[in-house]
Structure 1
Amino acid sequence: MNHLTFNSTPAQRGGEHGQLSGRGLLRLMRDHWVEIVGIAAFIAALSVIYVLLATPIYSADVLVRVDPPDPNEFGLSSQTRETPPSVPSPDAEMAVMTSRSVLEPVIQRYRFDITVTPRSVPVLGAIAQKLASPGQPAAPWLGLRSFAWGGEQVRVASLEVPRALEEEKLTLVARDNGRYELFGPSGEPLLAGRVGEAASSRGVSMKIAELVARPGTNFEVIRWNGLDAVTRFAKSMKVTDRAKGTGLVEITYLDESPTRAVDVANAISQQYIAYAVAARQRTDSATLDFITKELPRLRAELLRSEQALADYQASAQSMQPTMESQAYLQGGIEFDRQIASLQIQRTQLLERYTPGSRWVTSVDTQIKQLHAAKSAFDARFTSMPVSERRNADLARDAKVAEAVYLGMVQKAEELSVRRASTTGGAHIVDDATVPLHPVKPEKLLIIPGGVALGLFCGVMSVFLRRHVMTGVTDPLYVEQRLNIPVVGEVLFSRHQARLDQEMEPPLRRRRVSGGAALMLQRSSARLHRSGSEQQNAVRGHGLTKVLADRFPTDLAVEGLRGVRTALSRDSAQAPNNVVMFTGPTPAAGKSFVAANLAVLHAEIGSRVLLIDADMRGGHLALNFGQPNRDGLSDVLRCEKEPRDVMREVGGVQGLWFISCGRPAHNSAALLMSRHFKDLLDRFSAEFDLVVIDTPPHPMTDADIIASTAGATVLVLRSGMQSEDEIADTVRKLDRAGARVVGAVFNAIPASRGNRYYDYALRIGSAESLGTAAS
């Protein structure tokens, strides 16, 4: 026998499963465009609703300039000393702007440590809030009087609670005549008061400055801890360096109210300036105090140096300095001035840092380097006369002492003036102005983004449902990946679904044929409704409930005629004329395909025998209005003769039928008997074609029958069987020695993108018009 070889390697060309091609994706989108557009419209509508209901957020910006530090802190110009850590920088000042020292006064001023939120119904409350006018509480919707419906206004002037109640949700209930009540997290009463008056009870004190609400309206009140209040507040502000190296810093604050956003942004900048002024004044005071303490010593040093110089010159009878002594004097003055400046700086640093700190050690290193350089400089003048050198040294000491003293005096005067001023190391360049438009929600971004997201979700929904959550849906995939030739494609039929409904209730629960109720989807029904009902108005005159007999022009029947043609071509190579139909799972439609093919073969003049071999629970007899008794199981039990169970189907010339008979739990044993093989040989000789409907493949009955049948046809239902189920069925049939000629792809949803559907629709319409004209 010719055995089918299962291809376990992926196909090189992807169908709708596996590697989806671009053409396949376009076809998938075209077939499900209504669903994709629906999902996109739904998500786009949600984005529009969000934009309409979301609270607008406004942004206010303040531009601040951070001034560079004073490089001459003590009035002594020095390029060698290292900048101490107290020097301000933009990065450091940006951190100061978000510090508690700056933000806490603003939080206290605007009571951002207290949040009061009206208790509202989700979505409905937001809609009502949009429709209400501020200061005019709206009437309650749906009789929910405890909820806020827009127009409420409340302003808490102060609220102090025990630490145990911090960040707990308290309930504020408005009463009539300006009264209110405050309840704890568990509903326990905390206090009662009146608007404008302070109230206290049980460790809680509260003062409400304004309360406009219907009596009975509830509000959620939270008193935040100081640290958490700063953290929450900082999330609404942003501090950025406008341009590197310029010292320009931008403070941005976001708020629901544009005027409050401006007020708070300006308040933050003003608070920072005040902090900077205070910090500058503290620094200036500390420096001035240090200079004041050093001035007496420096003055004494100056007087001593000048007196020493005068005494030496008097004793030496005032010599005229030479060129060499002038060079020695000028160079030594510069070295001594730098050393004196660093020593003063070291003295001040020791008041804040230990001698081992890196700032003090850095100054010590520079002093050592200057002393070394000075020693090298002095070594160049060893040949100078001692008297000239002594005179130059004393003159140098006097000039350095004078320069240091005068510089310190000048700096002290400058610090005294600056300490009394109200300017610090920063100033405001641009104050915040009231914004006209909110920055959130971003309508131009959210709505197009919602449309794009909706289209993406629509495509992904169709793709996942088609390729992940459902079984194989593409006949091309079956041929390419599973290496199973598809001998026919049968479209979904609404007429077959109606025929199923006309049969017995057990059949409607168990049978799913070419277009049965399991596949009665709204999308397919809509596609058929436009033309399929007209084209299928041409009805047959048969007495059966077989689609090919009752509705011969149905699109599904046209597909079955293609299966008939393919099987006829294969009959010359088949060892016998027995054709078996099976499926990987129940409800694949094998009974539907077997019955209709038997009718279609009979209508071309063939003598056909249709056998229901599902002796466990077959129902094929209902298609012909006949009972199951006196069937195949009775013959195999030797209780009936074959001629006694063969029934000629009325209205279909040349078609005979054998039912499954009484249920047989040992059906596998009956089929393995010699009697069954002899029976098939007899039927094969008496009829042109023997069609056998077998149980679904999880049962072993199909494998037994397949070994004796000349051709085995696998019936697959679109979207029902997975790749593994199909592959497993093929492997079992192969091991049983079956000659699998191909598969029938059943119940394919019709779509406008299906060329076969379009062509069949035109042909069916033409036949419908021709029949009506006759």
Structure 2
Amino acid sequence: MNQNSKANDDTIDLKELFFSLIAQWKVIALCIILSLICALLYLRVTPNTYSTDAMVQVEESKGAGAAALLGDLSSVVEQKSPAQAEIEILKSRMVLGTVIQDLNLNLKIQDDEDGKLHRLLTKDDMLLDYRKDGVFYQKNQSNFLIKQFNIPAFYQNKELTLDLTTPNQFKLIDIENEQVVFTGKLNQANQNIDRYGTWSVYIESKAPFKQTFTLVKQSLPAAVDSLNTDYSVAEKGKLTGVIGLAYQGQDKQHITEVLNSILQVYHAQNIERKTLESKQTLKFLDKQLPELKKQLEESEIKFNKFREQFNTIDVTQESELMLKQNVELEKTRIELKQKQAELSAKYTSSHPLMAEINAQLATIDKKANELNQALKRLPETQRLYLQLYRDVKVNSELYTSLLNNYQQLKIAEAGEIGNVRIIDTAAEPIEPIKPRKLIILILSIFVGGFVGILIALLRNLMHTGIKDSTQIENELDLPVYATVPRSPIQESRIQILKKKKSIPILAVKNTDDIAIESLRSIRTTIHFSLANAKNNIIAISGPAPEVGKSFISANLATIFAQSNKRVLLIDADIRRGYLHKYFNRETTPGLTELLSNQSSVEQTVFKTEVANLDFIARGKNQSNPSEMLASAQFKQLLEQLSAQYDHIILDTPPVLAVTDGIIISQYAGVNLVVARYAKTQIKELELTVNRFEQAGAKVNGIILNDINRASGGYSYGYNYAYNYTAHKDD
């Protein structure tokens, strides 16, 4: 192999590759159609998925102490978004679990008849509605409502078959064990206790089904995980405090209701969390106010009785000062007690704030004891007066103060709005988010086209035969007499040719065809070869079947006859030859009858419709074709006929398949070998030439058939189909 051939092997002809893809447009179109059909089937069996969204704003509450400490540095120090904690709360079981329990989302229902094949063939009017009073399922005219479905924990997250085939009765079957675990009646509450726990099932149905369903009662963690697969929460932007919520599903109304329920539960718990401090304080005041009021009433009664008994007593300035101090201390102590109750809702007893309150109370108690000791040193009557007056004064002021605080906390609790604000509630969507039909259809076209092109390239890659006439000349040092392109005329006749027993001769029907023009160009070359040949016999051979020998033989003989030459065409392939179809006649009498002396030359030679062209069919199949062709009688026959005609063309069997072609080549003056573009291997041609040389014959030239070169403007698929139809038995 020389350098030129190596260069040709390493070169990719993009133009040829492009036209080879165009030639296989039917394969590409078929792949696109199949891909579109698959896409349409997918869209048919896949239900629409909708998505709805909502938006929540989280208001950041900065402490005054932190703001004072940071000052201008607060914009520099990295801070966490207040939305991060709220996002986790929105995903928590506290919020989602409440929604799941309220809407019965932990009960999954699957129709056993609703498979992909069923959805493909029929379009049922199905409704699955999760409501607060139960789960409602309706298909066509039948329906049922599961109002209650409490089952033992052992059967949670397990598939149970709901059998409604029995009238006015239902059964629950464990799919794993195929055992009936519960039986009940429709339209009434059913309870049962087994070794796993208590069953409580209530199924209402006015139009019962006659089929089975698959039910799954999910545990709370499993139900939350299942809801989270279609539920997403994320902050919009960075440190914006705005949270976006989204929920998707097949039922527009259902997903809207679920997302709005999540918003309601989350907002309610946020307000409840913010009013927790006020509730703790109100709880303390609810307990203290009645006791304080009772103490006030008792102290007033005692003080009035004392005054009635001893009349009015003047209080000295020192005693009055001690009384005021005692009242202030008692009032401060009560306020610290109230503050201690408020802080206990937030902190433990070991917290510094709690420790500070306890220290202040201890100081107040110490000062109060000192004043009590001072009061004890006063005169008895004066001391009793001051004590009773102090009790009335302290209880009165404390009761008034606590009552004011109680009213303020009540107002604050009623007006508490929390630190989150619902900006957008969930709105029912209109268009589904998936499947995106237009995109899927467009992608299916591209995928089908890609697969079709890939198949076409693989087919083209598998056709590793000869694709250039120079390859033959460089490798075998043999001339290429002609490169015969595919005929664009034949494509419209392909299906007709496959059904009919006769094949039209292209040189007769379409004399201007590009394939015929190419064959005309080799007449001069063959004339020069015959000038130095031992006779006027032309043998046309090929390395293997389906290379187009018969097509070349029939049309070449016609071309010679049209140039006023007397031509005899012989079908020498007595095994599987079918040249008789070109002339619409039977195989007999033919060559085998002539060689076996069953018919004469006059009886065997057939005058065709083409002027100057005679034809001898192959005859009846024989068991010893090689021996007949190697006989002296065949040689004598050719010598006899050679004198009567200007040209004799022999259509021979494949050389590598049988030895008949090599035997015939010894009688021919010119031996032409037909190779097929992109199918015949260079190694096959090399072996064919070696066979000729071993038999002492010479190959004069090669005819490269079925060319699809773009430079000639040929279409890839035309003559291939014709040649396959016309030469499939070669």
State TM-score, norm by structure 1.
0.58
1:436-455 matched pairs, under 5 angstroms:
436-441=429-434, 445-447=436-438, 449-455=439-445
Aligned to 1:181: 171
Which residue identity does 2:484 align to in structure 1?
A: V
Question: Mean Cα displacement is larger for which, 564-573 or 171-180?
Answer: 171-180
- Over 3 Å counting, the alpha-carbon distance change for 1:585 and 1:297 in structure 2 is farther
Secondary structure of the residue aligned to 2:427 is coil
Deviations 1:410-448 (A, max 9, x none): xxx9xx999989969741322524325143346xx422x
Aligned to 2:521: 566
1:400-415 matched pairs, under 5 angstroms:
none
1:10-29 matched pairs, under 5 angstroms:
10-15=10-15, 19-20=17-18
Deviations 1:572-624 (A, max 9, x none): 34254544444565344433442343344335432333333435444545764
Does residue 606 (structure 1) correspond to residue 578 (structure 2)? The answer is no
Structure 1 residue 114: deviation in Å? 1.4
Q: Distance in 1 between matches of 2:498 and 2:249?
A: 65
Aligned to 1:295: 356
1:648 pairs, out of 605, 608, 611, with: 605
- Over 3 Å counting, the alpha-carbon distance change for 1:20 and 1:425 in structure 2 is farther
Secondary structure of the residue aligned to 2:654 is coil
Structure 1 residue 559: deviation in Å? 5.5
Does residue 95 (structure 1) correspond to residue 88 (structure 2)? The answer is yes
Structure 1 residue 295: deviation in Å? 1.0
Structure 1 residue 162: deviation in Å? 5.2
Deviations 1:55-83 (A, max 9, x none): 444433232233436446899957899x9
Aligned to 1:192: 183
Deviations 1:83-115 (A, max 9, x none): 999987433432342233432232232222211
Aligned to 2:705: 744
Q: Distance in 1 between matches of 2:472 and 2:263?
A: 72
Aligned to 1:65: 57
Structure index of larger Rg: 2
Structure 1 residue 236: deviation in Å? 1.1
- Over 3 Å counting, the alpha-carbon distance change for 1:683 and 1:458 in structure 2 is farther
Q: Distance in 1 between matches of 2:15 and 2:466?
A: 6
Q: Distance in 2 between matches of 1:482 and 1:438?
A: 64
Aligned to 2:376: none
- Over 3 Å counting, the alpha-carbon distance change for 1:32 and 1:594 in structure 2 is same
- Over 3 Å counting, the alpha-carbon distance change for 1:678 and 1:755 in structure 2 is same
1:140-155 matched pairs, under 5 angstroms:
150=140, 152-155=142-145
May I ask how many residue pairs the two structures share in their alignment? 565
Aligned to 1:487: 484
Secondary structure of the residue aligned to 2:18 is coil
1:730 pairs, out of 643, 662, 685, with: 685
Structure 1 residue 256: deviation in Å? 3.4
Does residue 118 (structure 1) correspond to residue 111 (structure 2)? The answer is yes
Structure 1 residue 301: deviation in Å? 12
2:255 pairs, out of 261, 266, 271, with: 261
1:389-408 matched pairs, under 5 angstroms:
none
1:347-746 matched pairs, under 5 angstroms:
426-441=419-434, 445-447=436-438, 449-457=439-447, 459-460=449-450, 462-464=452-454, 466-469=456-459, 486-490=483-487, 491-492=489-490, 503=501, 545=502, 547-548=504-505, 554-555=509-510, 558=513, 561-574=516-529, 576=533, 577-583=536-542, 585-620=544-579, 624-627=585-588, 631=592, 647-652=604-609, 653-657=612-616, 659=618, 663=622, 667=626, 687-696=645-654, 698-699=656-657, 701=659, 702=661, 710-714=670-674, 716=676, 723=679, 725-736=680-691, 738-745=699-706
Q: Distance in 2 between matches of 1:456 and 1:246?
A: 42
Q: Distance in 2 between matches of 1:434 and 1:273?
A: 18
Deviations 1:498-524 (A, max 9, x none): 677565xxxxxxxxxxxxxxxxxxxxx
- Over 3 Å counting, the alpha-carbon distance change for 1:256 and 1:450 in structure 2 is closer
Which residue identity does 2:483 align to in structure 1?
A: V
Which residue identity does 1:170 align to in structure 2?
A: L
1:160-179 matched pairs, under 5 angstroms:
160-161=150-151, 165-174=155-164, 179=169
Contact 1:135 1:152 in 2 (8 A): no
Structure 1 residue 9: deviation in Å? 1.0
Secondary structure of the residue aligned to 1:572 is helix
- Over 3 Å counting, the alpha-carbon distance change for 1:672 and 1:428 in structure 2 is farther
Aligned to 2:323: none
1:216 pairs, out of 210, 215, 221, with: 210
Aligned to 2:241: 247
Q: Distance in 2 between matches of 1:573 and 1:164?
A: 98
Secondary structure of the residue aligned to 1:181 is strand
Deviations 1:518-566 (A, max 9, x none): xxxxxxxxxxxxxxxxxxxxxxxxxxx5523xx8754599466335413
Contact 1:237 1:253 in 2 (8 A): yes
Structure 1 residue 240: deviation in Å? 1.7
- Over 3 Å counting, the alpha-carbon distance change for 1:457 and 1:674 in structure 2 is farther
Contact 2:83 2:241 in 1 (8 A): yes
- Over 3 Å counting, the alpha-carbon distance change for 1:642 and 1:697 in structure 2 is same
Structure 1: tracts of 5 or more residues without a match: 137-146, 304-412, 504-544, 758-774
Contact 1:482 1:727 in 2 (8 A): yes
Contact 2:161 2:174 in 1 (8 A): yes
- Over 3 Å counting, the alpha-carbon distance change for 1:646 and 1:423 in structure 2 is farther
Structure 1 residue 234: deviation in Å? 0.4
Structure 1 residue 116: deviation in Å? 0.9
Which residue identity does 2:422 align to in structure 1?
A: V
Does residue 285 (structure 1) correspond to residue 340 (structure 2)? The answer is no
Deviations 1:381-432 (A, max 9, x none): xxxxxxxxxxxxxxxxxxxxxxxxxxxxxxxx9xx99998996974132252
Structure 2: tracts of 5 or more residues without a match: 130-136, 278-342, 365-405, 474-479, 694-698, 719-730
Structure 1 residue 628: deviation in Å? 7.3
Q: Distance in 2 between matches of 1:698 and 1:227?
A: 75
- Over 3 Å counting, the alpha-carbon distance change for 1:648 and 1:710 in structure 2 is same
Secondary structure of the residue aligned to 2:216 is strand
Q: Distance in 1 between matches of 2:616 and 2:424?
A: 96
Contact 1:27 1:753 in 2 (8 A): no
Q: Distance in 2 between matches of 1:607 and 1:666?
A: 28
Q: Distance in 2 between matches of 1:254 and 1:756?
A: 51
Structure 1 residue 224: deviation in Å? 2.9
